[in-house]
Structure 1
Amino acid sequence: MTTRYAVNARSAWPKLPLLEDWQDTCTTFHMWTQVIGKIRLALSPDINHCWGSTFYVTTRGLTTSPIPYGTLTFAIDFDFIAHVLRITTSSGADQAFALEPMSVASFYRKTMQTLSELGIEVKILARPVEVEVAIPFEQDDQHASYDADTVARFWHVLVHADCIFKDFRARFIGKVSPVQFFWGGIDLAVTRFSGRTAPKHPGGAPNVAIRVTQDAYSHEVSSAGFWPGMGLGEAAFYAYAYPFPAGFDKYPVQPAAAYFHDQLRFFILPYEAVRTAENPAQALLLFLQTTYDAAATLANWDRPALERKITQT
């Protein structure tokens, strides 16, 4: 199992603290991304599976990519090198403010004020999703932490994962998602589709309309991603299938550190196991491939029609 991505040395993969050690920053950052995500959601075309509202990894952080507004476009970028939120427009305007300890309410007000100064007026449903306690952004003075070093470390993992996920994505010629960052679950993900429709999803995600979940899982999928580890306690890579094929949880996946989490119903590969592997990129790619093998084999996907081999050039 090889990858075009050459970052294999352990030293290239930053160490991340346990989630409990940066939980306040993680939650604050999560809510900030939801503010920006809601702006893209309000103004962008409604692409299936919520793909029209996600972020993408950049050389400095995360971006919305261009958002249409009247006769121009604008983009909102999290810059985790300079630690600023930057808003740029196709007319040449450019404004930014510092990312530093501040409440979600303050971040929301600053963002909306900066947009207004650029002539952009947008109304959003100013309340978070996919969290049990959904404090309206304007009222959230509870979450106000920002550990710049840890956020930058987390982003550097996204940079590495983004490249490896794209390599994995290229091996599939059926319908496959972009590699994208979902601000609802604060995860980077890539999803393959068998081409068959799926049973209606029962829903159940907190503060998410069932129509959203059913659109996300309208078709049979094998999905993988990386997230800080809410419900787990440590950053990890994950993989799952919907619908859940019989025997999926018992399928032998690799590397050895990977396991099936009964409560989350995911295969899990702890980030620390990847970081400390002899070849981290190869370990991650092996996890992506074998968990996909589990889903595609057990659910009888038409693999010859959906897969291709990548040749090195």
Structure 2
Amino acid sequence: MSDNAEWPDIPFAPWKDTCAALHLQTQIVGKYRLAHTPWVNHSWHATLYVNADGLTTGLVPDGPGVTVQFDLQRQRLIASCPTGKSDGFPLEPMSIAAFDGRFKKTIAALGGSPEYHGCPNELPDATPFAEDTAARPWDADAVSRFHRALVRIDAVFNEFRTGFLGKVSPVHLFWGSFDLAVTRFSGRPAPLHPGGIPNLPDAVTREAYSHEVSSAGFWPGGGGIDEPCFYSYAYATPDGFAEQPVRPEAARFDNNLREFVLPYEAVRSAPDPREALLEFLNSTFDAAAGLAEWDRNLTCAFGRKGLPRLVG
């Protein structure tokens, strides 16, 4: 199988309603992790992670310890704990209220405490989960292809992550904005963020952007751009950032989002998708770090398998 064939076609329009349902479902599970985990800088304690089956919370310190997983290949929500117990239910057409109720029963069955904030974040129309009774579709094939795309993207993002010696985030999925992201930090404080993100406390936003960042990620679509795409931005945004030349050719600066974007399809259809995505990640980071005069000693060659970095 060619490298291109392993990057599945994931047009947004055919599955946008299923995508919206999955987004809200990840908010419920993410809020459960958030409610039971001590705060880590930049909300890193609340995120989800890509694995071979789908998306996982990792171990949540609730009751005996609980791991929740969206198995996006077998279309199930699974929760398990160290006692050997597990429980779950099919991912299928249902309302958000029904998912919320089933999820709470699943956590309770394992000895956990299904208590968390009951409204969505970062969405303008925040209907409480328990009151969102509208029927939601479930396109299992689209969900499976989305997961396979995340696996490919996660691998490239993690490779990019190795090229920085300073503070850098894990590669993780933020369920608020529903994007897979990786962020590098200059180490310097940033100006106070103005906040104003819908249904998100300004204190959370300001803590997240307490220090200068160059951040890149991937959206499946929605939120101002109706196609799957990669993005890259800097906070604080240095003067001249929008005018910087970036690669590959399909990349552009979106004046509405105030970010560089690169369509997923341009990566998927490139002769070497990995190389095309790394070009975007490297060139947009170079634009941000160069204009903001980051310490360039923080960048390094990508890590190699089985070889420790030379020191001294």
1:132 alignment partner, SS class: coil
Alignment check: 8 A CA contact 1:174 1:192 kept: yes
How far has the Cα of 1:229 moved from its partner? 2.2
1:245 alignment partner, SS class: coil
2:206 alignment partner, SS class: helix
1:15 is aligned, of 9, 14, 17, to 9
How far has the Cα of 1:56 moved from its partner? 0.6
Report whether the alignment pairs 1:235 with 2:235: no
Equivalent position of 1:269 in the other structure: 262
Alignment check: 8 A CA contact 2:34 2:46 kept: yes
Alignment check: 8 A CA contact 1:28 1:143 kept: no
In structure 2, the gaps of 5 or more residues are: 306-312
Equivalent position of 1:185 in the other structure: 177
Report whether the alignment pairs 1:252 with 2:245: yes
Supply the RMSD in Å over aligned alpha carbons: 1.2
Residue correspondence of structure 1 range 76-91 to structure 2 within 5 A: 76-91=68-83
1:75 is aligned, of 63, 67, 74, to 67
1:281 alignment partner, SS class: helix
Residue correspondence of structure 1 range 147-226 to structure 2 within 5 A: 147-226=139-218
1:86 alignment partner, SS class: strand
2:61 alignment partner, SS class: strand
Distance 1:166 1:148 in 2: 27
Amino acid at match of 1:87: A
Q: Which runs of 4+ in 1 moved over 6 A?
A: none
Deviates more, 1:111-120 or 1:192-201: 111-120
* Cα separation, partners in 2 of 1:238 and 1:65, compared to 1, 3 Å: same
In structure 1, the gaps of 5 or more residues are: 1-6
How far has the Cα of 1:218 moved from its partner? 0.2
1:40 alignment partner, SS class: helix
How far has the Cα of 1:273 moved from its partner? 0.3
Report sequence identity in percent.
49
1:27 alignment partner, SS class: helix
How far has the Cα of 1:117 moved from its partner? 1.6
Amino acid at match of 1:164: V
Equivalent position of 1:4 in the other structure: none
Alignment check: 8 A CA contact 1:24 1:143 kept: no
Equivalent position of 1:282 in the other structure: 275
* Cα separation, partners in 2 of 1:143 and 1:222, compared to 1, 3 Å: farther
How far has the Cα of 1:21 moved from its partner? 2.4
2:95 is aligned, of 95, 103, 117, to 103
How far has the Cα of 1:270 moved from its partner? 0.1
How far has the Cα of 1:142 moved from its partner? 2.3
